[in-house]
Copies of this chain bind each other. A is one copy, B any other.
Amino acid sequence: MKFSTKARYGLRAMVELALNYKNGPLSVKVISERQDISEAYLEQLMAPLTRHKLAKSVRGAYGGYLLTKEPNKIIVGDIIRALEGPIAPVDCVSKDEPRDCQRADSCVTKLVWEKVRDAVEDALDNLTLEDLCQNLTSQDTTGK
């Protein structure tokens, strides 16, 4: 029950964009350095984020990526879904692409997975990039 590096790295990249929100585009190179993520790999992660209109790109020199909205309008859950697909601890309870299973008594445990799915969605959909940025700055003052 782990999130992949796609979700983890991609989210960190988005936080980096949020921190830079007022300063124009940030290149993959810079993000990858600041966040210590492989440049080529991070490039791939930006594609789904752009496709889902969470970030937009500016090509050419001095280009890079920008958020499409203010940090407080960007939901962490949407970032994760863009990177990993629908949030579902097991395929049969995926809201978007449920996979129906033959077994009648799979319903016995379905309740469990539905509750987990809802709990995770609730947690992720009530956090914005701004929340994370605030968390960072408040932690900085505590000194390590």
Contacts and interface: CB of A to CB of B under 8 A. Distances in A.
Contacts of A36: 103
A127 B109 contact: no
A115 interface: yes
A58 interface: no
Interface of A is mostly: helix
User: Interface residues of A toward B: which range?
Assistant: 35 or more
Given A108-B12, A116-B124, A119-B120, A89 B132 contact: no
Contact of A119 (B12, B107, B119, B133): B119
Interface of A: 1-4, 7-8, 11-12, 15, 35-36, 76, 80, 84, 87-91, 103-109, 111-113, 115-116, 118-120, 122-124, 127, 131-133, 135-136, 139, 144
